Amino acid sequence: MSTTTIAEAPEAPPTSSLNDLDVTDPAQAREVAAGLPYGTRFRLGTQVTPVQRAFIDLHGFAVFAGVVSPAEVERIDAEARAIQERWLAEKRTSVRGIPLWVGRGPDGAPFIQRFAFASTFSDWLHAFVRDERFLPVRGLIAAETRVGDQEKDGLVINRNLNVPGSAYPKLGWHTDGLRDLFQLQLPGPMLNVGVHLDRVTREDGGLRVIPGSHTQGFAAMCFKKPYFVSHRPDPQEVAVETEPGDLTVHDGRTWHRVAASPHTGWRSLRRTMYVPYLSGPYLPKSEDSRTPLYHQLGTLLRWVKRRRSR
């Protein structure tokens, strides 16, 4: 699929022949969306257009180009490095019951690769995820939608790295609804909203999604693939290519994975930041929260992997 189509939203300059502002009828918007490439890079304006909404309803994901400025990309990275320095000094191993994924960088130094609840340790990140520019995306779920940085795993910063000693070079197939299933709850409405800090093409590995899998039934969501341990490419998967500052959204029921980078060292670094948008009961976590079973299993698997590598 091409990645060059630009679908315009309010206040965005005209950069392509496609103008979805003229499409207001839901049936027509769905028809237009169905004809767009999976790699369409939308513009986020003051509202989500009917075509953008229809695209997400059809495929379960979308990319919005250049929502975050280069200066903000650098600030996100700086905040992550400051949090890492604090957590390593504290010898912290978890946050609100969610384990930290700590590996080794190319220089052999400890390198936190998955941060949970990051915004609770950074006033800047706490304010950033509530910025008004993101309000149109929050409206995709319901009229009353909240930033879920106090719930589930909170604001998560990922730093995938392909080096010896890495704890997080890739991530197997999963849906984000697993958290609810392990708590014996049916997955509720949820969007996972990601900010991407690096240029990632298909050849660099990165995010893969199965379009339309968010419409699957409950059984397929539970048993379609072995959660996290399956990394095999799917014939229907799509590589989500991003530039620094891009915003992605995907439905929490969508099957997705993170493919390993073919590069090594710092060139393999791919940095992302995700926060859930939620509706329904408010279920915050605290430092007294128990570690969910799926995270306990994940910790065990990473320990076994480290033992084998030695």
Domain of 107, CATH number, reads 2.60.120.620
Residue 202 to residue 3: CA distance in whole angstroms: 11
Residue 274 to residue 278: CA distance in whole angstroms: 13
Whether residue 42 contacts residue 52, with contact meaning beta carbons closer than 8 Å, is answered with yes
Q: For residues 173 and 245, state if they share a domain.
A: yes
Q: For residues 55 and 88, state if they share a domain.
A: no
Residue 142 to residue 130: CA distance in whole angstroms: 16
Q: For residues 85 and 205, state if they share a domain.
A: yes
177 located within any domain: yes
Which amino acid, 268?
S
210 located within any domain: yes
pTM of the complete model = 0.89
From first to last of its 310 residues, what are the pLDDT tens digits of the chain?
A: 433 344 444 333 333 334 465 788 999 999 999 999 999 999 999 999 999 999 999 999 999 999 999 999 999 999 999 999 999 999 999 999 999 999 999 999 999 999 999 999 999 999 999 999 999 999 898 778 999 999 999 999 999 999 999 999 999 999 987 666 555 555 566 899 999 999 999 999 999 999 999 998 878 877 889 988 899 999 999 999 999 999 999 999 999 999 999 999 999 999 999 999 998 889 999 999 998 777 777 777 766 666 676 6
Residue 50 to residue 56: CA distance in whole angstroms: 10
Q: How many domains does the chain contain in total?
A: 2
3-state helix, strand, coil in the chain (%, to 5): 30, 20, 45
**Which residues in 181-309 belong to E strands, given as ranges?**
190-196, 206-209, 238-239, 247-251, 256-259, 270-278
Q: Which of 163, 259, 250, 266 is nearest to 204 (CA)?
A: 259
